[in-house]
Chain A
Amino acid sequence: MSEPRIATTQRGKRALKAKESQIFENAKNTLFLYGKQVNDIVKEAMVELFKLKRSCSTKLQRRNDISPFNDSESLEFLMEKNDCSLFVLGNHQKKRPHNLIFGRTFNGRVLDMCEYRLTGFQPSEFFERKAPMNLKPMIAFKGDFDSTPELVTSKSILSDLLRNQTHDQIAIESLRLLVTVTVVASKRTLDNGELEPPTIYIRPYIVESKGGCMCPYSCSTL
């Protein structure tokens, strides 16, 4: 990365200052982008996740020849430009179908990433309830996330991804969105003899205060 540009105007100076590190940080912005090839299912799944995080996300439209596990330089560049520190990269290739990579950066460099295969997904239109926008979700994790290093990373990244903005106080009335992330270990073995990776179910729910009813509105199985 070249030397940081020096601002010549006051406005530029303020813009650069806002991007600097601060003692109490703002919400982490998420970058939604496509890899070399995508299909509609992956795009729609990403849109659903984007809807949950609209106020603190940027969605790029073009496809990018980015393979983060091989070389993350161009990804880090895009993150820096859009001032994001979380990313969701969607891909669909023959060898890795319906691929989603979640990751985050620290100080401009990739910190950790986790790759998932989307095995089931239903868009929110399928359900009768519509989610209100820009709600701070309550998040619940179910299952043993400490069994493998990938799951430990996943838990941390998903917490970060789903939590959006931190608040120091919140109205009870606005606690209407619950996202549950459940991990279910698989007993099946793959063709190469290894145990199939566990399945993660991400389910957002609308919480009603009366009657304790929770209505699912969209699901993505990872």
Chain B
Amino acid sequence: MSVSASEILKAQAAKRQSSAIPERTDDLDYDIGNLIAYDSHPLLRKKGESMEDSLNASSLELGQFLLSKLIALPAVPTPIGVTVRIPVSNALPREKPVPRAKPKSRWEEFAQEKGIQRDRKRERQVYDEKSGEWKERWGKNRRTDNTQEFDPVIVAKAGVNDFEGAPDPFQAERKAKKDRVKKNKSQQIANERRAKRTKHDDWKSR
């Protein structure tokens, strides 16, 4: 005749129902952050008890200890039901090293030194004077740029642009923009190079 394990357990539970707290004192180590309990005592085996029964009995006891510890944690009011706050646990190793703080660029260092703060919260909508409307700062319907398409007229400067064979101001503006972009890009690369050169320990060298 075979009795299923669950039947045995239910009988055990019925016996234990009078005392929900196990008989022995709670001298377990806990890692509450990971919901773990460690009991260093060896498994108690009663005479004639099968391994499964011993394991089930010990599990029941450990489960009760652990659950009572968890229920005792500070409660958090939530609409779904009783929720407890679990503390952070650093018992187990990380999977990746802590990220390094990004090194400051030359401007950022200077700004910090001088105490310069710039609140760069740009609005998406910008008033465009040329068309007299509120347009977007970027995107398909953006405000008008300094391009020949939107700015067909550039006022000539006396002595610079107003004679025959003078340099093309439109080309000059286009070139100036390209130079600005190029300079910005090279400064970015220089900052990245500086950041790489800064000493830090890196495990990943193969």
Contact = CB atoms under 8 A, between A and B. Distances in A.
Interface residues of B, number: 60
**What is the interface of chain A mostly: helix, strand, loop, or mixed?**
mixed
B5 A106 contact: no
B158 interface: no
Listed residue (B41, B43, B78) with the most chain A CB atoms within 10 angstroms of its CB: B43
A53 to B, nearest CB: 14
A169 interface: yes
Interface stretch (A34-42, A60-68, A179-187): A179-187
Contact of B43 (A106, A137, A142): A142
Contact of A207 (B67, B78, B86): B67
A33 to B, nearest CB: 18
B37 A214 contact: no
Interface stretch (A8-16, A21-29, A43-51, A95-103): A21-29
Contacts of A180: 55, 58-59, 62-63
A163 B92 CA distance: 10
A195 B195 CA distance: 55
Contacts of B86: 166-170
Interface in A129-180: 129, 136-146, 155-156, 159-160, 163, 166-173, 175, 178, 180
B194 interface: no
Interface of A: 1, 20-23, 25, 28, 85, 104-109, 111, 127-129, 136-146, 155-156, 159-160, 163, 166-173, 175, 178, 180, 182, 184-185, 201, 203, 205, 207, 211-216, 219
13 contacts: A22-B99, A106-B93, A136-B35, A140-B39, A156-B92, A159-B31, A159-B36, A159-B91, A160-B92, A169-B84, A170-B70, A185-B42, A216-B5
Given A170-B35, A170-B84, 7 more contacts: A25-B96, A106-B93, A141-B36, A142-B41, A144-B42, A203-B56, A211-B10
